């Protein structure tokens, strides 16, 4: 209810501020008997780690996860999994410049409005640092889903005006942009350099997919699979839009064009993005998200102080010119968390049900 | 948990199938002492009523709401408000053609996969008829919000390739398309005629806004105001995308362009759509949704039977060529429900908090 | 969250006041394919119906339930089941005597404190009339549980100082007191007569049991099966205590006496009442509840008006001298609701688990 | 949903096993601006700490709590408070004797039934060690409640057959039994010695009270204040019964005797235990709980192995002869957690309500 948990049957609760002692969380509802250890989680964490390449922030956190409970002799026990990641790189610094001013595009002003005051060191709770815990939870969810033959993958498909023209999913994890079109890596590199020079930033678009999800997951009418995905993906820092399947393109489509026809071998197309009536169809689940440009830039901007007086703000420090890059593993994690939740819900509710038809 | 409820402090639960005895729901958590009667709810219901104009389905339902509880001497008591709308227009008809076949683009196939069988009369639970209860609940939420000076409004801003070029909000409720650009009403009319003739349908885009929301509503980090709006808006039938503020346009924006600068008089722009870090900023809350074209069309399409055999489907009956039109009051309702929920959550959590700054 | 719902996977929400238009509710999460019709529900409702015998209130309600949704061709569809029971016996009467005074032992004063005002006709929302919806929901839960071989039964085991000495479960449903000791029916009858004459009332104790529950249901550590039973049973009007197994008797027991030893054939005793560590053991689940004497009595009592002035209250009207009698089917219903919820939760969480041991 | 969280607006989630790396939790929903530091929490933790006196287990844990987040400059920020308590005293020992056998009265057998296997070191998740996190969370809740003038206190009022005859609340925290009757301390001491010698254990009864709770807290009809207290108190390890006010004594009371009359100065008595219709009355909230005798005793008992074969079990190790003693601060914590949750819920729902009457 206070908003730091997500999921019903598979429930993830996070805590922690960017410059506090540690971040962490509780992953509750993981079925028992699943192989799990710190290395499995660490593998995902390392993908979103700051400082992992020169295109993202230079801040270096070990991001070393500790599993405190819920795992015994290498397997989950069914009890809650407590995890902690210490904040090792909390440089002692002078916050006086942001302490009493509101950085435009940041949550400084809204946290003050909501809570009356805030932890002004870095982004506090609003920092993307919190998402490390989500990635850890997602890694656990993927362990369970992979046993069901489900694979989740994501890629950055656009940065600024540079769009992927080709989708080579093999290439995605081999370049620092998680970009599926290797022809444009030089252009991306040039854009990042230009932005760093200008002290500016740019937005990005991410595509995230799940393959192998059977038909029948999702709870009408409010907790539709797509509605829950919209919730979980929009909860990622900086995300401003979520689309399922053809997304906003459906506005100009005709019904005869949009509907995915069905044959005994399966669906002919996937405009729906794998969800009909809020329930999975067995097509791949496909979602797209838009991430706004990083708000922490060194281009001066007008703002006000906590006393309501005009001031100018320049954000110094180590920041990604494009937060979208690091959001790729986060998007995968959120999709995994939401899918596992719906798998367990479906299993509880309709365990004894079998669908009439099978594709050949 | 089974998915037919939305909201935490203000909680709406719906029930009912399109061709069952009745639809209805429970609106729980409405504060006491709010003026309420059936006429207030009916006013909103009539806006989304089928048959209210010749552009939507010819099915005529009285859609007369009965309040069964929670209101005493014209005011809410704080106890749950039970409402029922009888299904009066359940024509006896022959369903044998859809009973064992899956209409492409419909939830027939996914309901069968999830539940093992389905109520095949009309859309059953997946029918948009269920949204009448949401509109009723939204009308109650608006009664509470209007006391806080909050006004919610929506318009269809695009149908097919016809986009609104002007935004005359006064005109929206005076035309059957809820369209803000009166110059294009003839074009819309022509498109509907063409679609009816072709037995086809088209998608639509809706803009929904809330004015007067103070800064400080929304719960980081998962139950962000925008994430909860994404959930509630994506839960509307046929919605395939949700955008907050500039939405997908942020992908190609620079940080210096996107961030909304702040002056002692207020925000200079509203690219954010009224939400920063998941919390309202006091700017107008602005969201956009995309609705897919109606799946029930008379253009023949390939499909399969419940036994997995190939067949051809032609959907007969009374259907809207554009479901997006009637979704306008539904979008308003969902925004109202989500905002009221967050108002009550904020009031409980941070009742004694006052923000440091005030705009002049 | 506003408190009118119970359960997670099997979720019951009720609405309605004693003298409003109707009472009803939504039963969400019932698995699909379960045989259900109004007669099955009515059978349970008739057991708690006012006026069903001369020992309970003379008010006569038809208590005829209507299923509005969620059932198709005699089976549940997995979608929410909406039910309504009209209030047919709302005698027009003069409430001026209770309108501005607080009846001692009643919720009048607390509802006014919480909501600022109340529906003063009868008990409003605090009336036991609301429990009819629980009994209906419990009847649905029992349909699902009975397929798993689970039987639920309850009896009034004490009224005033009259305790059951023998437990003849066959006799329980053949006498108007749901009493298992037929030797004492005359004494109970005499006590009721005496109370009616004196205008007074008396408390009662109820034992409720579930047989056939397998080991493994219940969620540590907060949502233990016994903790959830305590919640659901204590939520019944007038209940002041809940005991599992030996209850308060454990205070003076030794560990060597209390613990239930185990043999290859099963547990040797059942002091635990079927729950260890919050999880079912496969022993019968046994609970006891205490119900306070009816507060509506004609013995004059001191009280205050809504203005805080002293007054004397005499409650007129038709009231049970012992509310505990009618609570027997309600207790069964609440146990059924809680057990089904935990069955579905267990099925979702640990569907693929099999316990190592089996009793021979 | 998986059961390791409690509360709606004030939500406590715990993790950890008795012999794992650490125990801890997330306290979410604490209002901002509340003074908090580790010393405040430690004070309560020390009261339930094992080894704090010779009447409880000799196991010594530092039980040193670390606050990882949610507190900034000595005040809560409104964001989730992460806490961790390392398990420092995990003696390396031989568990082979309990690894494959089920200790009677323990959760060994039910955990195996639920999860298919278990962490057999100590009690694993079912150990009372988990309650340290509850005490920490309760300490935070008390910080908020004390600002509202609410004081919570508990005492052990019976151990075995030794009942408190006098209630000297000043004395409770000055003796190792939290017993309010100093006349009987010698008898308690003698009983513990006898039990230790016999290798046996005994049950206990605890009374827990809240003073200063205003009228109007609690949510009818399921989340009544007393029903939620029953849930939270029954969720404490070893608790088998919960009573509010007169509890099971109401069974033999008359209505004219039980009901608490009201005068302009307040309630004349408190048979109700401070709750009517599920809502607080402004009387003290009074609850009683029964704790079963410790199951870990050295008296041999019959049991079975995980393979279902007969065996004899003798539990060695360091165990309290009466778990009830240490449950006193746990009971206080659970009452504080539940009350704060209802305070915040009431504040959100009915913030603008004022009750008509005031006691003089």
Q: What is the pLDDT of residues D223-261, one digit of tens each?
A: 999 999 999 999 999 999 999 999 999 999 999 999 999
Angle at A305 between CA A303 and CA A309, to 5 degrees: 85
Partner-chain contact B348 D345, CB within 8 Å: yes
Q: What is the largest CA-CA distance in chain D?
A: 68
For residues D52 and A355, what is the distance between their CA atoms, to the nearest angstrom? 60
Alpha-carbon distance B105 to A262, whole Å? 9
Residues from chain D contacting residue C204 (CB–CB below 8 Å): 251
| Tens-place pLDDT, residues B127-147 | 999 999 999 999 999 999 999
- pLDDT of res. D184: 97
Cis peptide bond upstream of C221, omega within 30: yes
**Among B39, B54, B208, B65, which residue's Cα sits nearest to residue B132?**
B65
pLDDT band, residue B293 (cuts 50/70/90): very high
Residues in D touching C118 (Cβ below 8 Å): none
pLDDT for D298 beyond 70: yes
CB pairs under 8 A between B and C: 178
| D69 contacts D80 by C-beta, under 8 angstroms | yes
| Separation between Cα atoms, residue C315 and residue C123, nearest integer Å | 12
Higher pLDDT, D117 or D51: D117
Distances (CA, A) of B6 to B26, B136, C188: 11, 14, 48
- Give the residue from chain A lying closest to C353, CA to CA: A32
Question: Assign residue B278 a region: left if phi > 0, alpha if psi is -120 to 50, beta otherwise?
Answer: left
DSSP calls for C260-304: --EETTEES--TT-SEETTEE-SSPEEEEEEEPPPS--SS-EEEE
pTM of full prediction above 0.80: yes
| CA C135/CA B261 separation, integer angstroms | 58
Phi, psi of C294 (to 5 degrees): -50, 135
Do residues C355 and C225 make contact, with C-beta atoms less than 8 angstroms apart? no
Q: The tokens of D11 are what?
A: 């939500």
Least CB–CB distance from C115: residue in B7, B77, B117 = B77
- Residue from D227, D228, D18, D282 nearest D133 by CA: D18
How does strand C22-28 pair with strand C81-86? antiparallel
Q: Does D351 touch chain C (CB under 8 A)?
A: no
What's the Rg (C-alpha) of chain B?
21
Residue D6: pLDDT over 60:
yes
Per-residue tokens: A215: 């038909």
**What is the structure's pLDDT at C20?**
93
CB atoms within 10 A of CB A79: 31
Predicted confidence (pLDDT) per residue in D276-297, tens digit = 999 999 999 999 999 999 998 9
∠ CA B193-B95-A224, nearest 5°, is 75
Complex prediction ipTM:
0.96
- A311: exposed, middle or buried (Cβ count in 10 Å: 0-12, 13-18, 19+): middle
Check CB contact under 8 Å for D124 and A77.
yes
Across the interface, whether the CB atoms of A9 and C345 are under 8 A apart is answered yes
What is the torsional sign of CA B334, B340, B344, B346?
Answer: positive
How many CA within 13 A on the CB side of residue D104?
Answer: 30
For an interface test with C, the pick among D156, D218, D277, D313 (most C C-beta atoms closer than 10 Å) comes out as D277
**Chain A 184-203, residues with CB within 8 Å of chain B CB atoms:** 195, 200-203
Nearest Cα to Cα of residue A50 among A66, A41, A63, A65 = A63
Asked if D357 is an interface residue toward chain C (Cβ–Cβ < 8 A), one would say: yes
Q: Which residue of D has its CA nearest to C276?
A: D107
The whole-number pLDDT of residue D113 equals: 95
In whole angstroms, give the CA distance from residue C208 to residue C156.
9
From D349's Cα to the closest Cα of chain B, the distance in A is 6
Kindly state the helix (H) or strand (E) to which residue B42 belongs, with its residue range. Answer: helix B38-48
Q: Is the dihedral of CA B135, B137, B141, B142 positive or negative?
A: positive
**Model pLDDT for residues D165-201, shown as the tens digit of each residue:** 999 999 999 999 999 999 999 999 999 999 999 999 9
| pLDDT for residue A205 | 98
Please report, for residues B301, B345, C117, the alpha-carbon distance to residue D354 in angstroms, rounded to integers and kept in the order given.
Answer: 62, 19, 9
Q: Can you list the residues of chain A whose pLDDT is less than 70?
A: 50-61, 89-94, 317-318
Q: Which residues contact C176 (CB under 8 A, 6 or more apart)?
A: C52, C53, C54, C55, C56, C325
From the list C279, C281, C255, the residue with the least C-alpha distance to C270 is C281
- Which of B197, B182, B160, B196 has the alpha carbon at shortest distance from B325? B160
Q: Is omega for the bond preceding A221 within 30 degrees of 0, making it cis? A: yes
Q: Contact, D150 vs D210, CB < 8 A?
A: yes
Helix (H) or strand (E) holding D65: strand D65-67
B201 is in an annotated binding site: no
Give B-chain residues touching A195 at CB under 8 angstroms.
Answer: 254
**Which regions of D146-284 does DSSP assign to beta strands (E)?**
151-159, 162-163, 204-211, 239-244, 262-263, 266-267, 275-276, 279-280
Ordered structural domains, chain D, with CATH = 5-349 (3.60.150.10)
Say how far residue D7 (Cα) sits from the centre of its chain: 15
From the list B33, B344, B350, the residue facing D32 with the nearest CB is B350
In DSSP notation, D232-260 reads: HHHTSTTEEEEEETTGGGGGG-BHHHHS-
Predicted pLDDT of residue B92: 56
- Whether chain D has a CB inside 8 Å of the CB on B77: the answer is no
Q: How confident is the model at residue B12 (pLDDT cuts 50, 70, 90)?
A: very high
- B78 vs C: CB within 8 A: yes
Which of A8, A25, A26, A110 is most worth mutating to test chain D (most D CB atoms within 10 A of its CB)? A26
Question: Residue B120 above 90 pLDDT?
Answer: no
pLDDT at A155: 98
Which single residue is written with the structure tokens 């679609």? Answer: B195
CA distance D50 to chain A (A): 21
D113 vs C contacts (CB less than 8 Å): 214-216, 279-282, 355, 357
pLDDT in tens, chain C (360 residues): 789 999 999 999 999 999 999 999 999 999 999 999 999 999 999 988 755 556 665 555 578 999 999 999 999 999 999 999 999 866 656 677 778 899 999 999 999 999 998 888 878 999 999 999 999 999 999 999 999 999 999 999 999 999 999 999 999 999 999 999 999 999 999 999 999 999 999 999 999 999 999 999 999 999 999 999 999 999 999 999 999 999 999 999 999 999 999 999 999 999 999 999 999 999 999 999 999 999 989 999 999 999 999 999 988 766 789 999 999 999 999 999 999 999 999 999 998 898 888 898
Residue among C299, C291, C352, C351 nearest C322 (CA): C291
Neighbours of chain C (3+ CB pairs under 8 A): A, B, D
């Amino acid at each position: 209810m206070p908003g730091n948990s997500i999921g019903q049957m598979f429930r993830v609760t996070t805590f922690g501020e960017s410059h506090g002692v540690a971040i962490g969380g509780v992953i509750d509802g993981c079925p028992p008997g699943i192989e799990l250890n710190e290395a499995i989680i660490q593998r995902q964490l390392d993908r979103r780690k700051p400082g992992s390449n020169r295109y993202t922030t230079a801040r270096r956190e070990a991001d070393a996860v500790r599993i405190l409970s819920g795992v015994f002799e290498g397997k989950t026990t069914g009890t809650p999994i407590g995890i902690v990641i210490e904040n090792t790189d909390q440089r002692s610094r002078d916050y006086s410049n942001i302490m009493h001013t509101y950085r435009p595009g940041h949550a400084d002003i809204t946290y003050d409005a909501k809570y009356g005051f805030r932890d002004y060191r870095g982004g506090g709770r609003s920092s993307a640092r919190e998402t490390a815990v989500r990635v850890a939870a997602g890694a656990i969810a993927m362990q369970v889903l992979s046993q069901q033959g489900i694979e989740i993958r994501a890629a950055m498909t656009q940065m600024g005006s540079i769009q992927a023209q080709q989708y080579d999913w093999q290439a995605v994890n081999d370049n620092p942009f998680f970009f599926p079109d290797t022809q444009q890596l030089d252009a991306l590199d040039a854009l990042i350099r230009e932005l760093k020079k200008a002290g500016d930033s740019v937005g990005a678009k991410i595509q995230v997919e799940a393959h192998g999800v059977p038909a029948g997951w999702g709870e009408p009418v409010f907790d539709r699979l797509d509605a829950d995905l919209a919730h979980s993906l929009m909860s990622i820092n900086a995300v401003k839009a979520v689309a399922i399947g053809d997304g906003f393109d459906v506005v100009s489509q005709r019904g005869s064009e949009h509907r995915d026809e069905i044959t005994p071998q399966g669906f002919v197309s996937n405009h729906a993005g794998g969800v009909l009536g809020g329930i999975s169809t067995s097509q791949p689940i496909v979602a797209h998200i838009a991430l706004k440009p990083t708000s922490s830039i060194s281009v001066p901007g007008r703002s006000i102080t906590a006393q309501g007086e005009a001031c100018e703000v320049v954000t110094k420090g180590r920041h990604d010119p494009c937060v979208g890059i690091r959001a790729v593993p986060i998007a995968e994690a959120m999709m995994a968390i939401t899918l596992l939740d719906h798998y367990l819900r479906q299993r509880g509710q309709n365990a004894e049900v079998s669908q009439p038809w099978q594709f050949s």
